[in-house]
Amino acid sequence: MALQPSLRPLIIAGPADAPHTLDIFLDYACPFSAKIALVMDKVLLPALGPGGKYDGKVKLIFRPQVQPWHTSSIFLIEAGLAAARISPSLFWRFSLLLFAQHHEFTNMPCAELTPTQIRAKIAVLASQVLPTENVAAFSALLEPKADLRGSNEVTEEVKYTLKFSRQNSIHVSPTVLWDGLVASEVSSSWGEKEWDTFFQAKVLV
């Protein structure tokens, strides 16, 4: 599946030229996304990474997915993309922290917060993962520009991720694609056994 060069950190496991591609669309504010993200970290990354059973055969791409009924989703995805640019090697670690704290960014806790306040709240989390010298640069990427649109330095990358989702008719998270086709059988409740059975049936090289 396509991925513009600036978003290469979204390949969180496997080589970029792996013959198979597993795309997982997740919303940082979604509890089901948070559930599968933990499985990705504990099951998929070891299986697809160096020395894993499927090392070199599958690349795993985390696709940020905005679900507008989660009102803070856009700010969290901006933050994830900013971290990917500032500290690519820490992108997934920061993403896991966002998933772990997703309950702080659901609709009610953020109901009376401004976008600036939500971004500041996210920056506090970023300071727990990113090098101290990178936190200011991270926050700067999220600062609205002095124009009527209020875009920031990662707006174009956010647009890319949204356009990619819409083009491929992705509506909810989690949604999983295997080699470009929706794998509707995948569940956020899957563990190591289910994923291994899936790979055994799907990995052909």
pLDDT at 81 over 80: yes
pLDDT at 133: 93
**Tokens 């702080």 identify what position?**
104
pLDDT at 145: 86
pLDDT at 62: 98
Model confidence at 159, pLDDT cuts 50, 70, 90, reads very high
Owning domain of residue 48: 5-202
Mean pLDDT of 66-92: 95
d(CA 81, CA 48): 23
| pLDDT above 90 as % of the chain | 89
For the packed helices 31-39 and 91-100, what is the interaxial angle rounded to 10 degrees? 130
pLDDT at 53 over 90: yes
pLDDT top residue among 163 and 146? 163
Q: What domain count does the chain have? A: 1
pLDDT at 137: 96
pLDDT at 46: 98
Tokens representing 67 are 């679900």
- On whether the CB atoms of residues 4 and 160 are closer than 8 A, the answer is yes
pLDDT at 8: 95
Q: What is the pLDDT of residues 5-46, one digit of tens each?
A: 999 999 999 999 999 999 999 999 999 999 999 999 999 999
What single string gives the DSSP state of each residue in 92-114?
HHHHHHHHHTGGGGSTTTTTT--
What single string gives the DSSP state of each residue in 121-181?
HHHHHHTTTS-HHHHHHHHHHHSPPSSTT---TTHHHHHHHHHHHHHTT--SSSEEEETTE
**pTM of the predicted model, to two decimals?**
0.94
Residue 59 has, within 13 A of its CA and on its CB side, a CA count of 17
Average pLDDT, the chain: 94
Mean pLDDT of 89-93: 97
| pLDDT above 70 as % of the chain | 99
**Rama region for 179: left / alpha / beta (φ>0; ψ in -120 to 50; rest):** left
d(CA 67, CA 50): 33
Question: What's the CATH number where 42 sits?
Answer: 3.40.30.10
Q: What is the pLDDT of residues 108-145, one digit of tens each?
A: 989 999 999 999 999 999 999 999 999 999 999 999 88
Mean pLDDT of 46-59: 97
Model confidence at 1, pLDDT cuts 50, 70, 90, reads low
